[in-house]
Chains A and B, each alone.
Chain A
């Protein structure tokens, strides 16, 4: 675990110093909610529309963090330094997934209140545990697939184009699952129970892609 913690600590310290990912992600999400607020010309949205607006916005904001996830490794020789160490390559995968998860949580700490303030009718305070569970499952999926795609695209010249082109189609099941699961929580008439099948869909997605990422990550970072 020491290498995982070392990489994670390094990433978080760098982000705290440079503020290159989380502020940009948060700003994009808040700006998007403002645009939706005026674009939809409504004081509030509910149900499927609210869920769709929230998850599409979070997904696009996540792209900014995914894009930068391995940039220091690529541009400052971090990949070589890591590959020269006698450690399992999956240490970097795990550290980067956790780092991206932390970025997503930080994003949501800003984006969710902004969403509630700018677009949502009554806030689903009663259904907060369900909403947090959906967010946690979706975040794991975004973090795993985002890390995989970031590692794949980082050496490409068109990295900033390649990341959304690869990640967004792969993350469609997360978008559908999270939006379908959270739609009943955003009803004006009060939150309704979430169908259990959507938790299952999100959980299975996380598991399958975590295994896939573990299996292929070595090939992505090594020569």
Chain B
């Protein structure tokens, strides 16, 4: 049996008095993809931030890559690639400087930076400051940043936003199903979510409304999340 890459048991997280996630329970086997769907404010990004060890769970339990959060968060950090809304790149540094900075933090050889820049088609623009690049180019660099440490688990928050079809094709082998990584993908498009997922989690108001295998899932059940 494939070991679980993510195991959540009654996971909860609040911002002050306001619960952002309540009682989320699931198990995702290694190598599979979980699509997290739901309307704005459903708790999708909060779930990713908890899995990325950036937020502590306030209730329930969470195990990521065999490590219990938050106690063993330090042991899992280098094994996660997190692509968030915010690209986590400094505007006054160039793409290459940003990636070299993150490579140094992750103990990755600088050669990996050039390799990833080539893969996302950004080598020619890598020496321009981030503030001079389009949002789509910045997103490609953010993909490079997330992949620097050769992660086992990818946490992707709307990974193809701002990307044109060509750029989407370029990043597909890196962050798509063919990457071979365990993936948690947050998105707003139910059809796209179903197409690339093994398991679908539907959230609404921070609560788990749906957890089902993607195969054979009734699209109407997904649409109901947004009703």
Binding site for B on A (CB under 8 A): 2-3, 5-7, 9-10, 13-14, 17-18, 72, 76-78, 80-87, 223
Contact = CB atoms under 8 A, between A and B. Distances in A.
B74 A72 contact: no
The 10 closest A-B pairs by CB, nearest first: A86-B78, A6-B104, A85-B105, A77-B88, A77-B86, A81-B88, A86-B77, A223-B55, A17-B92, A10-B101
Given A17-B92, A84-B80, A223-B54, A77 B87 contact: yes
Given A14-B90, A81-B102, A83-B77, 7 more contacts: A6-B104, A10-B93, A76-B90, A76-B91, A84-B82, A86-B149, A223-B55
Given A2-B104, A86-B106, A80 B54 contact: yes
B92 A14 contact: yes
A9 B97 CA distance: 10
B90 A85 contact: no
A5 B53 CA distance: 24
Nearest to B102: A81
B51 to A, nearest CB: 11
Q: Which of B78, B84, B104 has the most CB of A within 10 A?
A: B104
B52 interface: yes
Nearest to A75: B91
15 contacts: A6-B104, A10-B90, A80-B82, A81-B88, A81-B89, A81-B102, A82-B105, A83-B53, A83-B54, A84-B52, A84-B88, A85-B102, A85-B105, A223-B54, A223-B56
B219 interface: no
Nearest to A78: B90
B204 interface: no
A9 B78 CA distance: 22
A170 to B, nearest CB: 28
Nearest to A88: B74
B132 to A, nearest CB: 12
B145 interface: yes
A14 B55 CA distance: 28
Nearest to A17: B92
